[in-house]
Amino acid sequence: MTAVFWAAAALAAAFTVVRVLGAERGTPLVQLVSYTPYAALAALVAGAAVAFLALLPGLVLLACGAVLAALVVPRLVPPPVPRDGVRLRVMCANLLFGRNATLAFVDQLKIDDVDVLAVQELTDEGLAALDDAGIDALLPHRVVSTAPGGGGSGLFSRHPIEDPAARSLDDIPMQQTAATVHVPGAGPVLIESAHPYPPRQGRVRIWQQQIATQAVPSALGPPRVLLGDFNATLDHAALRQLLRAGYRDAAAERGRGLAATWPYKTETLPFWTPPITLDHVLIDARIGVREYGTRPAGESDHRPVVAELVLPAGFYAG
């Protein structure tokens, strides 16, 4: 039995080293690192139980659990809520090949009083369904780039936009739409709907490159918001590198960094998968977060996420 305990301790130690060093390379390590919060809890519980039977492997498990928990817990500890500023409510939603472009989804936009919506996996059929549901009356300004399957993208805004753009990420045609949104009382904000390709077997390098090529904030230009389905959690080195480039995660800013967003339509998967956080609202340092939450998945396998951002009044005149 002691050998079993040591095997568990060795696995926990190896997982911890990979996570701490950001050394996940290829499958299945990239996928496994997604479950770091679960690994932290499992190591702590297992360590507490094993320590009564075999002290040393139990202590190794407890130490691994403590290290992993130290990486995860800050996402649950929010800074003070910003009080002053101009409100901007944003939502991002993966539509699952356009299937969640429904009347119920548009009704949720009304309930949340959304100012800017970023969608991924927007198809021609999905766009037509959104129009039929009356999205134009809520969010009349748009830039869209539809595609069959999961490559489409769209950005819809209550406020006027300029410089609408759609770009195709390298290697695999994943569309991303972007625009400068002019928010009354604040100024221009650069907003982009993000959707890097998922890190499937043989495609991990593409996933890493597509995250690495995301636009980053610049102190010389307007504040930037990057939101969407990143196919990555905050435990992935690729996404943490993007945060180090100048972004903050809106969920973590409100202590909701473990609010799971995927999967919620499990018939698309060959087996049950614990929910993880793949959808994010990333903001630069000039933007605050007053509220954050997830919404029902509806016909999608992703939960939409909503954030109420706080923009300094008249922060940028350029």
| Per-residue model confidence (pLDDT) at position 317 | 45
The answer, yes or no, to whether the previous bond of 28 is cis (omega within 30 of 0) is: yes
DSSP-derived pairing of the beta strands 141-145 and 247-249 = unpaired
Handedness of CA 78, 79, 80, 84 (dihedral sign): negative
CATH class of 86-311: alpha beta
Cβ neighbours of residue 141 closer than 8 Å, sequence gap 6 or more:
156, 157, 158, 159, 160, 161, 179
Across 238-267, average pLDDT = 95
Across 91-96, average pLDDT = 98
Question: Which run of H or E residues covers position 129?
Answer: helix 124-132
Does residue 14 surpass a pLDDT of 80?
yes
In the chain, where the domains are located:
2-76, 86-311
Q: Which residues pair with 11 in a beta bridge?
A: none
Per this entry, what is the length of the chain? 318
Q: How many CB atoms lie within 10 A of CB 70?
A: 11
Distance CA(236)–CA(32), nearest Å, equals 10
Distance CA(95)–CA(167), nearest Å, equals 19
Of 39, 95, 91, 93, residue with least CA distance to 68: 39
Across 204-221, average pLDDT = 94
Q: Which residues pair with 29 in a beta bridge?
A: none
| Per-residue model confidence (pLDDT) at position 97 | 96
Does residue 318 surpass a pLDDT of 90?
no
Which residue type is seen at 1?
M
Q: Residue 84's pLDDT band (boundaries 50, 70, 90)?
A: confident
Which residue type is seen at 14?
A
* Model confidence pLDDT, tens digit, residues 171-199: 677 899 999 999 999 999 999 999 999 99
**Two tokens, residue 55:** 């002290």
pTM, 2 dp: 0.95
Chain-wide mean pLDDT for the chain? 95
For 188, phi then psi, to 5°, come to -75, 140
For the ranges 63-67, 82-86, 125-129, 305-309, the lowest mean pLDDT is seen at 82-86
Does residue 267 surpass a pLDDT of 70?
no
Distances (CA, A) of 56 to 8, 107, 150: 12, 56, 48
Does residue 314 surpass a pLDDT of 80?
no
DSSP helix/strand/coil, 78: coil
